[in-house]
Structure formats: C-alpha cells, structure tokens
Amino acid sequence: MMSHHSPLSGKVAIVTASTDGIGLAAAEALGQRGAHVVVSSRRQTNVDKAVSLLRSKNIQVTGTTCNVGNAEDREKLINMTVEQCGGVDILVSNAAVNPFFGNILDSTEDVWDKILGVNVKSSFLLTKLVVPYMEKRGGGCVVFVSSVAGYQPMQGLGPYSVSKTALLGLTRALAPDLAQSNIRVNCVAPGIIKTRFSSALWESESMTEEVLKQTSIKRLGKPEEIGGVIAFLCSDDASYITGETITVTGGINCRL
Ligand SMILES: NC(=O)c1ccc[n+]([C@@H]2O[C@H](COP(=O)([O-])OP(=O)(O)OC[C@H]3O[C@@H](n4cnc5c(N)ncnc54)[C@H](OP(=O)(O)O)[C@@H]3O)[C@@H](O)[C@H]2O)c1
C-alpha cells in the first residue's frame, strides 16, 4: 500500500557509488521513503559499513561490490538485484572519477578513456541493462548525477567537466525514447557539496572563501540536500518531469 510516509514502498532502487557522500545520502533518502535500496561501490569494506549504517536506520538494504567501469560488475549488480529483490524500479547513476587535475592540454588519451568510461559510458550502459526490467514493472525512473562543472568547466578539471556536460546530453537523448516505456530520465547537477570527493575545494579556508563568493547561500551543500532532490525526482510528485536537469547549487549561476 502506498502511504504518505512511504511513497516509494514496494520499489527497488539501485544507487551506484553509494557507500559515501551523495550516493549514500540518496540511498538513505530513497530508503526513508520506503524503497528497498541496493548499495554498491568498489570496496567490500565500504559496502559492509554502508549496509549496517542504513540497517541501523531501519532501511531495507542489500549491498554488493560494483566498479561501474567494469562490464561484469555492472551485470552482477543488476542480476543480483533482480534475483534478490524481484526487479528494478529506480536507477541512480552516481559514480564518477577524476584522475586528472591540470591544464586540459596536458590530459592524455588514457585520462579521457577513464573519465568518459566511468562517468558517461557506464551511466548509459547501466541504463540499457535496467530498461528491460523496468519495462516488466510497467515503468521506472533513472537519475544521473552531473555537476555545476557541467555548465561552467572548472579550472583544472577540463575532462571531468566535459564528462558532466555529456550527462546533460545523455539525459535529454534518452528521455523521449524511454517515455514510451513509462520510464522518466532526469539529472541533478550539484554545486559544491562537502564530501571526500570535493575536499580539495574546502580543506583550505582560502579555497572555501573563493567557492562561497559564487554561492548565494553562504555555505557548502550537504549530501542529504542532493539525496532529497534525487528522491523527489524518483517519486510520483515528479511524474510529469523528464529530460530535465535540476541544479542544486546554493545559487551558483548555471547556464550553458
Ligand atoms: N562533492 C561535490 O561537490 C560534487 C559536486 C558535483 C557533483 N558531484 C558528483 O557526485 C557524485 C558523488 O560524489 P561524492 O562527492 O558523493 O563522492 P564521495 O563522497 O567521495 O563518494 C564517492 C563514492 O563513490 C564510490 N566510487 C568511486 N569510484 C567508483 C567506481 N568506479 N565504481 C563504483 N563506485 C565508485 C566510492 O566508494 P569506493 O571507494 O568503495 O568505490 C564512494 O562510495 C559524483 O558523480 C560526483 O561527480 C559531487
């Protein structure tokens, strides 16, 4: 039974890279709304920690390792979910890497292969794997995690920023086709959120000051402030939203 407090009750939600930061917050937000969440990341110890944390909050959760850049891991994640949870309704593709900082002209082919492979290609390939299962359930929701850097490339983070712009395109490319299967495809573009991934931007006071100059709300974002928006996009409250990217940046200017 759907209730006001458990709008996602009966739904199965896969969130990638969900043992820390924004992914973990998204898993928690979906779980709090009644979904059974499947958490994963590269390291088993991180998976175990996330599973016990979520269980301690009375969230229904299953965990497994999955490096999204690896085809076998992606298949294992989806197959395990279907076997153990009976299907898939929600995919939050949140994993990203950034192995390069510097002048874009110094970035190598390997850097581009890695960044586009993990951040963009795996998001598409995971979507392709879950679509048949969502169709079996009569529909579903996909959410990609882009970045403010997808709108305005960040200095030193050229290839990463381009990968995040590509996710805005992927969202819009998939939405019309998948609408026919009652699958909505949306995207969130976070600003600067306090996680390990962004630590270079907040560990020094002068860096934080620089970042905050551009934000209207004079503080960094918290992972749960992204998790809540992701859960909203996966709920019936967002039933008429598809192909959209929501920026959640504390007011940093975002336009392409
Ligand atoms: N923090 C920000 O300011 C910010 C801003 C805009 C966008 N974002 C985006 O938000 C997403 C999450 O970032 P975050 O800040 O939440 O990072 P985070 O707190 O550092 O967490 C990263 C998570 O990703 C997992 N992970 C890393 N590589 C993976 C891979 N190849 N396959 C599967 N899991 C992997 C990590 O676990 P393991 O080490 O166990 O794999 C960990 O659970 C990324 O897409 C990032 O680009 C972040």
Residue 9 CA to ligand 1 center (angstroms) comes to 26
Has residue 217 been placed in a domain? no
Close Cβ partners of 75 (under 8 Å, ≥ 6 residues apart):
129
CB distance 143 to ligand 1 below 6 Å = no
Strand partners, 62: 38
Domain housing 25 = 12-192+222-248
Q: In angstroms, rounded to a whole number, what is the distance separating the alpha carbons of residues 239 and 178?
A: 14
Tens-digit pLDDT profile for residues 206-254? 989 999 999 999 999 999 999 999 999 999 999 999 999 999 999 999 9
- Looking at ligand 1, which atom is closest to the CA of residue 25? 16
What residues contact residue 105 under an 8 Å CB cut-off, 6+ apart?
none
> d(Cα 218, Cα 9) in Å, to the nearest integer?
36
pTM: 0.98
Q: What is the CATH number of the domain that holds 37?
A: 3.40.50.720
Q: Tell me if 199 is assigned to some domain.
A: no
Element (H, E) at 167: helix 158-179
Distance CA(113)–CA(18), nearest Å, equals 23
Separation CA 11–CA 231 (nearest Å): 12
* Structural domain count of the chain: 1
Residue nearest to ligand 1 atom 12, measured at CA = 22
Write down the pLDDT at residue 4: 61
Query: pLDDT digit string (tens) for 177-211?
Result: 999 999 999 999 999 999 999 999 999 999 899 99
Q: Is 160 a catalytic residue?
A: yes
Q: What is the pLDDT of residue 206?
A: 92
In a domain, 164, yes or no: yes
Q: Is residue 5 part of a domain?
A: no
Note the pLDDT of residue 3: 56
For residue 208, is it within any domain? no
Give, for ligand 1, the residue of 20, 94, 143, 224 to mutate: max count of ligand atoms closer than 8 Å to Cβ.
Answer: 20
Instruction: Please tell me the least confidently modeled range out of 116-125, 156-165, 200-209.
Output: 200-209
Instruction: Assess if residue 169 is contained within a domain.
Output: yes
The answer as to whether 187 is a domain residue is yes
| Residue 202: inside a domain | no
The pLDDT value recorded for residue 130 is: 98
Q: Where are the beta strands (DSSP E) in 4-134?
A: 12-15, 36-41, 61-65, 90-93
**Model confidence pLDDT, tens digit, residues 75-88:** 999 999 999 999 99
Q: Tell me what percent of the residues of the chain surpass a pLDDT of 90.
A: 96
Question: Ligand 1 within 6 A of 93 CB?
Answer: no
